[in-house]
Structure 1
Amino acid sequence: MKKKIVVFTGAGISAESGIQTFRDANGLWEGHHVEDVASIDGWNKNPSLVQNFYNMRRQIALNAEPNAAHCALVTLEKVFDVHIITQNVDLLHERSGSSHVLHLHGRLDLACSSLDKRLIYPVVGHEIKMGDCCEKGSQLRPNIVWFGESVPNMEPAIQLSEQADIMIVTGTSLTVYPAASLVEVIVPTCDLYVIDKHINLARIPKKSITMEGTASEMVPKLVNQLIAHNTIL
Structure 2
Amino acid sequence: MNLFVLTGAGISAESGLGTFRDPGGLWRRFDPMRLATPEAFAAEPDEVHAFYNLRRRGVREAAPNAAHAALVRLEAGLAARGGHLFLCTQNVDDLHERAGARAVTHMHGELMRVRCTACGEGRPWPEDLSVETACPSCGRRGGMRPDVVWFGEVPLHLDAIADALDEADLFVAIGTSGAVYPAAGFVARVRGAGIPTHEINLAPSDTAGLFDAATYGPATRAVPAFVDGLLRETGGSTP
TM-score (norm 2): 0.87
Contact 1:27–1:34 (CA<8 Å) still a contact in 2?
Answer: no
Cα deviation digits, residues 172-229 of structure 1 (max 9, x gap): 01100112122222263422110112114x6145452111112111111111111111
- How far apart are the structure 1 equivalents of 2:185 and 2:20? 23
Alignment of 1:113-152 (within 5 A): 113-116=116-119, 118-123=120-125, 125-134=126-135, 135=138, 137=140, 139-152=143-156
Contact 2:109–2:156 (CA<8 Å) still a contact in 1?
Answer: no
Contact 1:11–1:88 (CA<8 Å) still a contact in 2?
Answer: yes
- Which residue of the other structure, out of 92, 112, 116, is the alignment partner of 1:109? 112
- Alignment partner of 1:66 is 2:70: no
Q: Which residue of 2 aligns with 1:15?
A: 13
Contact 1:17–1:64 (CA<8 Å) still a contact in 2?
Answer: yes
Q: CA deviation at 1:28?
A: 6.0
Amino acid at match of 1:65: A
- How many positions carry a matched residue from both structures? 227
Contact 1:120–1:143 (CA<8 Å) still a contact in 2?
Answer: yes
Q: CA deviation at 1:27?
A: 7.9
- Alignment partner of 1:193 is 2:195: no
- Alignment partner of 1:228 is 2:226: no
Helix, strand or coil at the partner of 2:147: strand
- How far apart are the structure 1 equivalents of 2:108 and 2:59? 15
Q: CA deviation at 1:52?
A: 1.1
Amino acid at match of 1:179: A
Amino acid at match of 2:91: N
Contact 1:197–1:212 (CA<8 Å) still a contact in 2?
Answer: yes
- How far apart are the structure 2 equivalents of 1:28 and 1:229? 38
Cα deviation digits, residues 32-54 of structure 1 (max 9, x gap): 31111101111111001001111
Q: CA 1:17–1:27 in 2, change beyond 3 Å: closer, same or farther? A: closer
- How far apart are the structure 2 equivalents of 1:180 and 1:208? 15
Amino acid at match of 1:115: A
Q: CA deviation at 1:24?
A: 5.3
- How far apart are the structure 2 equivalents of 1:63 and 1:140? 23
Amino acid at match of 2:93: D
- Alignment partner of 1:88 is 2:86: no
Q: Which residue of 2 aligns with 1:170?
A: 174
- How far apart are the structure 1 equivalents of 2:234 and 2:90? 28
Task: Note the aligned Cα RMSD (angstroms).
Answer: 2.1
Amino acid at match of 2:133: D
Helix, strand or coil at the partner of 2:190: coil
Contact 1:158–1:185 (CA<8 Å) still a contact in 2?
Answer: no
Helix, strand or coil at the partner of 1:50: helix
- How far apart are the structure 2 equivalents of 1:24 and 1:227? 32
- How far apart are the structure 1 equivalents of 2:131 and 2:150? 19
Q: CA deviation at 1:26?
A: 8.3
Helix, strand or coil at the partner of 1:29: helix
- How far apart are the structure 1 equivalents of 2:222 and 2:52? 30
Amino acid at match of 2:121: L
Contact 2:199–2:211 (CA<8 Å) still a contact in 1?
Answer: no
- How far apart are the structure 2 equivalents of 1:161 and 1:142? 28
- Alignment partner of 1:184 is 2:188: yes
- How far apart are the structure 1 equivalents of 2:30 and 2:226? 37
Q: CA 1:158–1:193 in 2, change beyond 3 Å: closer, same or farther? A: same
* Runs of 4+ off more than 4 Å: 22-28
Alignment of 1:147-158 (within 5 A): 147-158=151-162
**Greater per-residue helix proportion:** 2
